[in-house]
Structure 1
Amino acid sequence: MRRFLDFLYDACAWLAALAMIGVLLMVLLSIVSRQIGFHVPGTDAYAGYSMAAAGFLALAHTLKRNEHIRVTLLLGRLQGKARRGLELWALTVGVLLSGLFAVYSVRLAWNSRAFNDISTGNDATPLWIPQLTMALGTVILLVAFLDEWVQELRGQRSTAGSEEALHNE
């Protein structure tokens, strides 16, 4: 199971990287087409969709690599049961919030598909298509938070030390 979850987080990171390349390609296409004298409709919208996909798909991988911004002012001063209790509380809140985020993201994509919601731009893209990346990213973030929560309960979770946290900043 561990290998599958790590593969899932890494696969999402690769998809996020591909989405960043999509942003680059859309911006370059827009610039080059403007210089040559023709217009490709929808490049701004597709760059935005790709940017959102990159952000949402990278959430779980970033969490699992301890790269999310954390306020460790209080946590760094605690030890033992108090620290573990605060970690469990924070992870529980993370599970609940990411669960809500996942439910509403999936619901948004589902409703957009059901109502045939399309973008207001020239491209008239069905909005459920770019919203799928948001839904996928938030569902996998929920899985990552649950993974962290279970690891913390089992005492197997590795957290960043204060030196490592300073290094990331």
Structure 2
Amino acid sequence: MSQLVFRFYQGLMFLSCVSMVAAFVSVLLGVLAREVHWDLPGLDAYAGYAIACALFLALPSTLRRGEHIRVTLLLDRLPARVRGAFEWVCLVGGLTIALALAWFSIRLVWMSWTTHDISPGADATPLWIPQIGMALGCVGFALSFAHALLMRLRGDQFIAMGAEAAHIE
């Protein structure tokens, strides 16, 4: 089951990479269009949508790889037993926040769909389309916290902590 979930994280990371390329292409087209005096409305909005999508879709993989910012100043000074309990509290708190983010982002997509909400900019994009990436990333983020809790319960390590990450923190 873990392999399936890890593949889901990889799929989200691939979509995040595609979104970053889309943002790059949108910005590049905007620059080229200004140079040749073309009017391509909405390119800035599309670049923004793609960057936001890339950010949210990358959340589960960055948690898995231990690349989120972690404040270890306090954790390093705690005794092992207290530190373990504190990490449990942090994982449960992270899951709670991620579930709330997932719930409200899905709700936002649904509300945008049902009300036919469109972007007020020149692009006039139906907002549910760029919001799908945010909702999918938030669902993946909540799943990654739940997965981390389950692996911690089994005694396995979910969040990777390499030597470089330990050195930087």
Q: How does 1:142-153 map to 2 (within 5 A)?
A: 142-153=142-153
Amino acid at match of 1:31: V
Q: How does 1:74-113 map to 2 (within 5 A)?
A: 74-113=74-113
Equivalent pair of 2:148/2:159 in contact (CA under 8 Å): no
Query: Displacement, 1:152?
Result: 1.3
Change (3 A) 1:38 1:69: same
Amino acid at match of 1:134: M
- How far apart, CA to CA, are the structure 2 residues paired with 1:2 and 1:110? 29
- How far apart, CA to CA, are the structure 1 residues paired with 2:168 and 2:24? 26
Amino acid at match of 1:93: G
Amino acid at match of 2:13: A
Query: Displacement, 1:80?
Result: 3.2
Match of 1:61 in 2: 61
Fraction of identical pairs, as percent: 43
Amino acid at match of 2:129: I
Amino acid at match of 1:51: I
Q: How does 1:1-169 map to 2 (within 5 A)?
A: 1-159=1-159, 163-168=163-168
Query: Displacement, 1:166?
Result: 3.8
Equivalent pair of 1:76/1:162 in contact (CA under 8 Å): no
TM-score, with structure 2 as normaliser: 0.94
User: Which is further off, 79-88 or 97-106?
Assistant: 79-88
- How far apart, CA to CA, are the structure 1 residues paired with 2:157 and 2:86? 14
Q: Provide the alpha-carbon RMSD of the alignment.
A: 1.6
- How far apart, CA to CA, are the structure 2 residues paired with 1:65 and 1:52? 20
The aligned length equals 169
Amino acid at match of 2:108: L
Name segments (4+ residues, structure 1) moved above 2 Å. 77-81, 158-169
- How far apart, CA to CA, are the structure 1 residues paired with 2:61 and 2:162? 21
Query: Displacement, 1:154?
Result: 1.7
TM-score, with structure 1 as normaliser: 0.94
